[in-house]
């Protein structure tokens, strides 16, 4: 599935370059108009990221709940600064299909497992934001990518997949916002090591060729943000490309 991604800072659509809050691009497009465009072209699923919430959970975007409640013919998965059961309840009650958890799951794995058991694994996506170091080790980034941990992606997946987690969103930080192409080797590795996961690939997608390459390598879903916003290609073109592979 092709999943459009929309990120927010202070209520405006924005894209970061390699997760850097000091290197961002603001877009003038109204969020509702942008979502309407995706819907008109056939999109049935949107990925929303609250970058204020990622950086500081106390600044969670209230606009996200307004956006979600405005639509009833499309599903949303939402991430960014989600730290409490109240956060989850608010999102699920608003109609969110899946909640994306990253930092919290890494820092509090036992609590995350309790959430999986309470609300069902089907309602969560684990975000493993990944930094490939010089030793080619896959290290996880947290706190809106400001902190690179010593935690290895595979070890985290091994633990949570054992508890039934299925949906994984993997972003190669070095590719994010660059339009330089996705890290196919990274995604192949994850699919090989964890064949039961349903993988969402994010970071670097800048052309229809990139879309084809992901589908050819049996990646389940492609998260696309900047390429759509900058009209490198449309959602409809990406969807047709995905279906034709």
Compute the average pLDDT of residues 199-213.
96
Residue 193, pLDDT score: 96
Q: Which of 50, 129, 172, 210 is catalytic?
A: 129
pLDDT category, 56, cuts 50, 70, 90? low
CA distances from 16 to 26, 85, 193, 210, 225 (A): 9, 28, 30, 20, 10
pLDDT digits (tens, 9 = 90+) for 126-160: 999 998 888 888 999 887 677 888 989 999 999 99
- Work out how many domains the chain is built from and give that number: 1
Please choose, from the candidates 108, 2, 13, the residue with its C-alpha nearest in 3D space to the C-alpha of residue 51.
Answer: 13
pLDDT digits (tens, 9 = 90+) for 104-127: 999 999 999 999 999 999 999 999
Compute the average pLDDT of residues 64-86.
88
pLDDT digits (tens, 9 = 90+) for 10-48: 778 887 665 556 667 889 888 899 999 999 999 999 999
Domain range spanning residue 232?
Answer: 2-244
Q: Which of 7, 87, 172, 210 is catalytic?
A: 7
* 7 among known catalytic residues: yes
Q: Give me the CATH number covering residue 190.
A: 3.20.20.70
The DSSP line for 13-80 is: EEEEETTEEEEEEE--S-HHHHHHHHHHTT--EEEEEEHHHHH-GGG--THHHHHHHH-SSSEEEEES
* 129 among known catalytic residues: yes
Q: What is the mean pLDDT of the chain?
A: 89
Higher pLDDT, 124 or 244: 124
Judged against a pLDDT cut of 70, whether residue 58 lies above it is answered with no
Which stretches does DSSP call E strand in the chain? Answer: 2-9, 12-17, 20-26, 45-50, 75-79, 98-101, 124-132, 138-142, 147-152, 167-172, 198-202, 221-224
Judged against a pLDDT cut of 70, whether residue 61 lies above it is answered with no
Judged against a pLDDT cut of 60, whether residue 93 lies above it is answered with yes
């Amino acid at each position: 599935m092709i999943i459009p991604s929309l990120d927010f800072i202070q209520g405006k659509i924005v894209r970061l370059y390699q997760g850097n809050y000091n290197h961002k691009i603001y877009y003038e497009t109204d969020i509702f108009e942008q979502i309407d465009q995706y819907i008109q072209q056939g999109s049935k699923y949107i990925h929303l990221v609250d970058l204020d919430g990622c950086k500081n959970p106390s600044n969670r975007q209230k606009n996200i709940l307004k956006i979600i409640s405005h639509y009833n013919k499309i599903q949303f998965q939402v991430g960014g600064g989600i730290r409490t059961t109240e956060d989850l309840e608010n999102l699920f009650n608003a109609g969110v299909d899946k909640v994306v958890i990253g930092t919290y799951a890494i820092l509090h794995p036992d609590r995350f497992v309790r959430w999986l058991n309470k609300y069902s694994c089907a309602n969560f996506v684990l975000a493993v934001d990944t930094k490939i170091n010089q030793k080619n080790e896959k290290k996880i980034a947290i706190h809106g990518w400001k902190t690179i941990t010593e935690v290895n992606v595979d070890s985290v997946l091994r633990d949570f997949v054992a508890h039934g987690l299925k949906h994984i969103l993997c972003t190669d930080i070095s590719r994010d916002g660059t339009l330089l192409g996705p890290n196919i080797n990274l995604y192949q590795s994850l699919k090989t090591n964890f064949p039961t996961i349903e993988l969402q690939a994010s970071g670097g997608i800048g052309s229809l060729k990139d879309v084809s390459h992901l589908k050819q390598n049996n990646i389940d879903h492609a998260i696309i943000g900047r390429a759509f916003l900058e009209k490198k290609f449309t959602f409809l073109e990406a969807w047709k490309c995905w279906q034709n592979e």
